[in-house]
Structure 1
Amino acid sequence: MTGSFSRDKIDEVREATDIVDLISNYLTLKKAGKSFVGLCPFHTDSSPSFHVNPNNQLYYCFGCQKGGNVFNFLMEVEKMSFREALEFLAEKANIPLPSSQADNALEKEKEGLYHVNRWAANFFYKNLFTPKGKLGLQYIKDRSISDEMIKKFGLGYSLPGWDSLVNQARHDSISLELLTKSGLIIKKSGDKYYDRFRGRFMIPVSNLYKKVIGFGGRIIVADEKQPKYINSPESPIYHKGSVLFGLYQSRQKIRELDQAIFVEGYTDLISLFQAGIKNVVATSGTALTPNQAKLIRRFSENIILLYDADNAGSMAAMRGADIFLDENLEVSIVTLPRGDDPDSYVHKYGKEKFKALLEHGFSLIQFKINTLTKQYDRQTNSGKTKIINNLLTSIARIKNSLKQNLAIKEVAEYFSLDERALMQQMENIKRSDRISYQEAKSERTKKETPLRIQTKYDVAEEDLLKLVIENGSWLPKIFKYLQLDDFKNNELKHLLSIILGIYQQNGNYDKQIITRNITDPDISSKIAGLMAQKIGKATDREQLFRDCIVFLKKRKLENMLHNLTQEIKIAQDKEIDATEYIKKYQDCQKEKRKVEDRTFFED
């Protein structure tokens, strides 16, 4: 059957989904007459402008003008395709869907990455219960991690050999190419690979749909040459700055308690969870990012930041708190006793003492005053000015006017200063930041957007897009000879991937469907230009198609030949056998000749 679903089936899934229940999983909604209101998840919202109407099952934000039905909401908030949103909601409603055509190239790759990550997680888990994995299991037991937590978080062990995972993958017919893209293995040369994670305590990182997207690995035998922790590299499914470890396991308790505790490390979270403190997430040892703040805001607006007592911990807490302020979140900062982390503290003192510790958190202003007065001398005008300007910079980020005024009052009382003077200085800081931002933005624009001369390859990519927009039948023909990554203009590549998704969702499309499905202003502007610059009626479209394919195929092959030439030279300089590279070079040359004489086109 085609890649589209019937209108009746789509309507059945939509009608089975209550929009209020769905959106309540992401933000707090309050009844207001016949509707529900809340803070918009799509823009920084200081007063509720997001409205949900249960009668017509639609949402709309009066601030950013985004709105739609249950599918639109998931597509926007989770960055799902229409098909992913439909399948997700159908599964929740226990509505079976007919099978459809394969996803576009990127989606197929993502599914492949999810599959190999899940396979690897199972491999690491099973290693714990083999003779070779005894060391890993003992390490976990020595850390007092229970069997329940091992299963709950899918913990495991990577064997110390260089190619344990590689060999098992070959045995199980798992794609080494996908394992390489996931970062689990590293390619050396030819068909030689080695494991990235060796002799490590393995922690799978899951997304909100329980799909494994990456791993953290802690070394268990001390080795000065190896880092204590290594993490999966970025991939199409893993973006570390947009993920919170443990959120899948903790999200329900966070919503229930309307509070999220932030810790740094994987084992900190696991130990707290084991102790019964389940409203906790971890940044996985990296600095907090705005994307992580936006993510947690779906589940709670009340944050407790838990940091070590040293200076580095204090500075990290202040930076993190400022990021939360930008998202209009309430922040409390709790400092652990010197020498303790959450893992050690909860093991020493237990759940109740840990919960009591949380009740003695500082507001951001209190915490900053305590920290900055240790850093600068408040008895001098210079020191006092630095402290106050730092405090006002944070206060300026508070979205709620009442809370902002209370924070100003707190600073004024502590330093015996006039509130009006502080308000004026805060406005000066805001103005200065706006000017600096605009100047920096202008300077970046000058540096980052030099005049770009259009090449013949740009023209070829654009002409293929014009053919695709004109008639959907060109789309499968293009992907018979090219891959999405063969398009080097990122804007055109993104646009083509959107159109490909629409095609596989509907089986076909027209210009109106394309424009309805594209909301990004930059992409909308580009497609408007392509639609305006039509291909002439007299143009032989088949000839144009073949010319463009040849241009882009040649570019790809010429790049490959260049890279292989370098590999051959390096191998010969190092007196390494270059036979494999020479063979690939010759094959590439043959393929290039076929492209040049166009014999590679199939009738």
Structure 2
Amino acid sequence: MISASSIDQVFETARVEEVIGDFVQLKKAGSNFKGLSPFSDERSPSFMVSPVKQIWKDFSSGKGGNVVAFLMEHEHFTYPEAIRYLAKKYNIEIEETVQSDEQKQAANERESLYLVSEYASKYFQNILHKTDQGKSIGLSYFKERGFTEETIKTFDLGYALDEWQAFTDEALKQGYNIDYLEKTGLTIVKGEKRFDRFKGRVLFPIKSMSGRVLGFGGRILINDKKAAKYLNSPESDIYHKSKVLYGIYHAKQSIAKEDNCYLVEGYTDVIQFHQTGIKNVVSSSGTALTSDQIRIINRLTKNITVLFDSDAAGMRASLRGIDLILEQGMNVKVCAFPDGEDPDSFAKKNSLEELALYLDENSKDFIQFKASVLFEESKNDPIKKAETVRDIVNSISKIPDRIKKEIYVQECARIMDISETVLFSTLAQINKKEFQEEAKKQKNEQKAFDVIKHEQPVKKVDVQYVLERKIIEVLLLYGNKTEDFEDLVLKENDKNELILEPVIQRAKVFEKVFLDLQDDEMQFSNPQFKTLYYTIIDRLNQTEDFELKTFINSVDQDMANEITTILMDDERYALDDWNRMNIFPKEKTTSVAQLVSETILSLRCFLIDQKVKEFQQETLHNKIDSNRNILEEVKDYSSLKMLLSRKLNRVL
């Protein structure tokens, strides 16, 4: 258990914009920040972070909350783990008691997989640095690759003993469950027999963006034709190869800072670049590049530079994968290394200045690079040249930006010595085919929508819901503020006429709201708002220095999410960047006292209308005598409504 004082210290220190900035590229939007949603596939920002309120809201998925809620949603942390992560980031020493066996057993399965993976990483590091076999075989191999002690420790590199059950036996001895050892792929179970998957291999821990160990990549160090050179952890609940980039934990801040990401093929390429001084580099870990991996990079930068050696087969494979990057609307450059060199060997032989200069001078625009490479292969063969042109135009068709498309067509025509007209015609054919397929898909979707549309009537605006929500917003933002409220009291003038005379009353906002609702015995119809209302009133009554950030941190996740939705709703319009289009939204000028009075009066008028409707329904079923009483009540309510309307008009 983490002590309450430690949790308070973490919340006081952590900045939501700094923490989320490690995972999402944020851009200033007024007093807030905006970025692409990390929870959905999108090209226009719908993710908003408020440094003032210390909350975030993702309008595409509906998720929101404080800094801990983000880590729990994005990294699948438990609450204590999110606190520990923030404590580590901000160098806060936390007080916590040792977990009991019962608490360990209570951890859910996913969390158990993380715990097993973290234990394995530390175990393999210990074997590498503390045992004779680890030093003589594993450590020697890494040092032969040119890795320093500091680099080896930065990437938590390890070694598995060349024994069938060394790791499994030790893990079981430490109390880890065989089921989780098997599910993470660390142990292979066949009947009664158990084997270490990574026996005799050096190990590269594969981490999430927050640094959690998800799986491992293992390289064999002996010549064994029956064994794979590289072996990865199998898919599990925490490790999905297609959604992970090796090195992203160490590279994320540098990628955002440099506004570019170098993409390489292997583990050692990433490590060697990092050691040389270029840290904005990641690897797809030997798998074909996927859309999910590209989206991870897209949240940090729009620019990718793909690096590969001069091997023809490898180059063509990389070229095929890059079309996916273009589809995401990203800017792609390509850099090939000299004959016989790969990113690892080239970085090892050159200084930071030499490597940076080479990358700068040899990184070419992807379309230009692809055209020049394929042109060399097909220039003497008309049929191959025609295929090459179609291949390049097909890549150009993936680009969403029409201006970029046209520029690339012009460049391709120059390189391939072919008319722009032919290329535009080919592009139109490809686009037409894609358009027809998309139209067909949309038509099918429209049919499904039409069925739903006929079945479900249009939902009316729930006025009471909107007004109750506004009351909660007012209490959250201004509850502890003291304001001068103008109350209008009915009085007779010299001519015996009833007039509304203003009376100024000074009070705190929450007291004014509470007393007004109490006077009219108004109750919240929405159960969640009702709970939230009394929780806020109670907290404001108890403390003089009510802080929104502290309050959000103290309530449960469902309530925190509702608070975030209420507070960030108006901020969503900043996502559209109206100023860029010379449209300047009018600033809110309503005073707090005016806002409170207007909201309460509007709610009272609405409830009176509802009451009158109830009476109208009742008269249809009752006798004439009782109807007279009802009509009297309707008359009284109508008079009250007129009075409130006059008050409301004065407020407005």
Give TM-score, length-normalised by structure 2: 0.59
Q: Encode CA deviations 1:112-169: one digit per residue, 9 max, x unaligned.
A: 2222222222222222232233222222222222111221111121111211112222
Shift of 1:428: 2.4
**In structure 1, what is the Cα distance between the partners aligned to 2:106 and 2:429?**
47
**In structure 1, what is the Cα distance between the partners aligned to 2:558 and 2:46?**
37
Q: Encode CA deviations 1:52-74: one digit per residue, 9 max, x unaligned.
A: 55555565678x47564446655
Residue 362 of structure 1 pairs with residue 364 of structure 2: yes
Residue 31 of structure 1 pairs with residue 33 of structure 2: no
Q: Give the match for residue 521 of structure 2.
A: none
Shift of 1:184: 0.9
**In structure 2, what is the Cα distance between the partners aligned to 1:81 and 1:424?**
55
Q: Give the match for residue 347 of structure 1.
A: 348
SS of residue matched to 1:388: helix
Could you tell me which amino acid in structure 2 is paired with residue 116 of structure 1? V
Q: Encode CA deviations 1:385-443: one digit per residue, 9 max, x unaligned.
A: 32222222222222333322221221233345554553443232133235457889999
Shift of 1:231: 0.8
Residue 324 of structure 1 pairs with residue 325 of structure 2: yes
Q: Give the match for residue 268 of structure 1.
A: 269
Q: Give the match for residue 121 of structure 1.
A: 121
**Aligned in 2, Cα 1:427/1:508: closer, same or farther, shift over 3 Å?**
closer
**In structure 2, what is the Cα distance between the partners aligned to 1:284 and 1:118?**
20
Q: Give the match for residue 450 of structure 1.
A: none
Q: Give the match for residue 153 of structure 1.
A: 155
Q: Give the match for residue 254 of structure 2.
A: 253
**In structure 2, what is the Cα distance between the partners aligned to 1:67 and 1:171?**
41
Conservation of the 8 A alpha-carbon contact between 1:202 and 1:216: yes
Q: Give the match for residue 210 of structure 1.
A: 211
Could you tell me which amino acid in structure 1 is paired with residue 149 of structure 2? D
**In structure 2, what is the Cα distance between the partners aligned to 1:412 and 1:106?**
65
Shift of 1:268: 1.6
Conservation of the 8 A alpha-carbon contact between 2:75 and 2:210: no
SS of residue matched to 2:350: helix
Shift of 1:234: 0.8
**Aligned in 2, Cα 1:79/1:407: closer, same or farther, shift over 3 Å?**
farther
Shift of 1:229: 0.8
**In structure 2, what is the Cα distance between the partners aligned to 1:409 and 1:276?**
37
Residue 386 of structure 1 pairs with residue 392 of structure 2: no
**In structure 2, what is the Cα distance between the partners aligned to 1:417 and 1:281?**
37
SS of residue matched to 1:295: helix
Q: Give the match for residue 278 of structure 2.
A: 277
- Aligned residue runs from structure 1 range 104-183, under 5 A: 108-128=108-128, 129-133=130-134, 134-183=136-185
Residue 373 of structure 1 pairs with residue 369 of structure 2: no
Conservation of the 8 A alpha-carbon contact between 2:246 and 2:284: yes
Shift of 1:172: 2.7
**In structure 2, what is the Cα distance between the partners aligned to 1:224 and 1:103?**
46
Conservation of the 8 A alpha-carbon contact between 1:36 and 1:53: yes
Could you tell me which amino acid in structure 2 is paired with residue 371 of structure 1? V
Q: Give the match for residue 314 of structure 1.
A: 315
Could you tell me which amino acid in structure 2 is paired with residue 121 of structure 1? S
Conservation of the 8 A alpha-carbon contact between 2:65 and 2:557: no
Q: Give the match for residue 287 of structure 1.
A: 288
Q: Give the match for residue 230 of structure 1.
A: 231
SS of residue matched to 2:215: strand
**In structure 2, what is the Cα distance between the partners aligned to 1:28 and 1:204?**
25
**Aligned in 2, Cα 1:365/1:378: closer, same or farther, shift over 3 Å?**
farther
**Aligned in 2, Cα 1:59/1:119: closer, same or farther, shift over 3 Å?**
closer
SS of residue matched to 2:226: coil
Conservation of the 8 A alpha-carbon contact between 2:182 and 2:188: yes
Could you tell me which amino acid in structure 1 is paired with residue 322 of structure 2? A
Shift of 1:353: 2.7
**Aligned in 2, Cα 1:179/1:105: closer, same or farther, shift over 3 Å?**
same
Quote the sequence identity (%).
36
Residue 21 of structure 1 pairs with residue 24 of structure 2: no
Rg (Cα) greater in structure: 2
Give TM-score, length-normalised by structure 1: 0.64
**In structure 1, what is the Cα distance between the partners aligned to 2:364 and 2:414?**
17
Shift of 1:193: 0.5
Conservation of the 8 A alpha-carbon contact between 2:23 and 2:252: no
- Unaligned 5+ runs, structure 1: 444-504, 517-603
Could you tell me which amino acid in structure 2 is paired with residue 297 of structure 1? N
Q: Give the match for residue 508 of structure 2.
A: none
**In structure 2, what is the Cα distance between the partners aligned to 1:260 and 1:27?**
14
**Aligned in 2, Cα 1:120/1:59: closer, same or farther, shift over 3 Å?**
closer
Conservation of the 8 A alpha-carbon contact between 1:314 and 1:371: no
Q: Encode CA deviations 1:196-233: one digit per residue, 9 max, x unaligned.
A: 11111111112223222111111111111111111111
- Aligned residue runs from structure 1 range 412-451, under 5 A: 412-419=413-420, 421-435=422-436
Conservation of the 8 A alpha-carbon contact between 1:317 and 1:333: no
Conservation of the 8 A alpha-carbon contact between 1:90 and 1:97: no
Conservation of the 8 A alpha-carbon contact between 1:45 and 1:328: no
Conservation of the 8 A alpha-carbon contact between 1:17 and 1:70: no
**In structure 2, what is the Cα distance between the partners aligned to 1:384 and 1:329?**
27
**Aligned in 2, Cα 1:27/1:155: closer, same or farther, shift over 3 Å?**
closer
**Aligned in 2, Cα 1:35/1:425: closer, same or farther, shift over 3 Å?**
farther
Q: Give the match for residue 402 of structure 1.
A: 403
Conservation of the 8 A alpha-carbon contact between 2:396 and 2:408: yes
**Aligned in 2, Cα 1:438/1:236: closer, same or farther, shift over 3 Å?**
farther
**Aligned in 2, Cα 1:349/1:29: closer, same or farther, shift over 3 Å?**
closer
Structure 1 range deviating more: 67-76 or 237-246? 67-76
Conservation of the 8 A alpha-carbon contact between 2:262 and 2:280: yes
**In structure 2, what is the Cα distance between the partners aligned to 1:236 and 1:358?**
38
**In structure 1, what is the Cα distance between the partners aligned to 2:153 and 2:61?**
44
Conservation of the 8 A alpha-carbon contact between 1:308 and 1:340: yes
Conservation of the 8 A alpha-carbon contact between 1:28 and 1:38: yes
Structure 1 range deviating more: 426-435 or 116-125? 426-435
**In structure 2, what is the Cα distance between the partners aligned to 1:37 and 1:290?**
22
**Aligned in 2, Cα 1:217/1:387: closer, same or farther, shift over 3 Å?**
same
Shift of 1:366: 1.0
Q: Encode CA deviations 1:234-262: one digit per residue, 9 max, x unaligned.
A: 11111111111111122222222222211
SS of residue matched to 1:333: strand
**In structure 2, what is the Cα distance between the partners aligned to 1:132 and 1:42?**
44
Conservation of the 8 A alpha-carbon contact between 1:25 and 1:298: no
**Aligned in 2, Cα 1:187/1:254: closer, same or farther, shift over 3 Å?**
same
**In structure 2, what is the Cα distance between the partners aligned to 1:320 and 1:236?**
26
**In structure 2, what is the Cα distance between the partners aligned to 1:68 and 1:98?**
28
**In structure 1, what is the Cα distance between the partners aligned to 2:403 and 2:104?**
49
Q: Encode CA deviations 1:490-518: one digit per residue, 9 max, x unaligned.
A: xxxxxxxxxxxxxxx96999xx99xx9xx
**In structure 2, what is the Cα distance between the partners aligned to 1:424 and 1:44?**
31
**In structure 2, what is the Cα distance between the partners aligned to 1:378 and 1:124?**
55
Shift of 1:174: 2.7
**In structure 2, what is the Cα distance between the partners aligned to 1:197 and 1:185?**
8
Q: Give the match for residue 606 of structure 2.
A: none
Shift of 1:376: 3.3
- Aligned residue runs from structure 1 range 41-60, under 5 A: 41=38, 46=43, 51-55=48-52
**In structure 2, what is the Cα distance between the partners aligned to 1:124 and 1:87?**
23
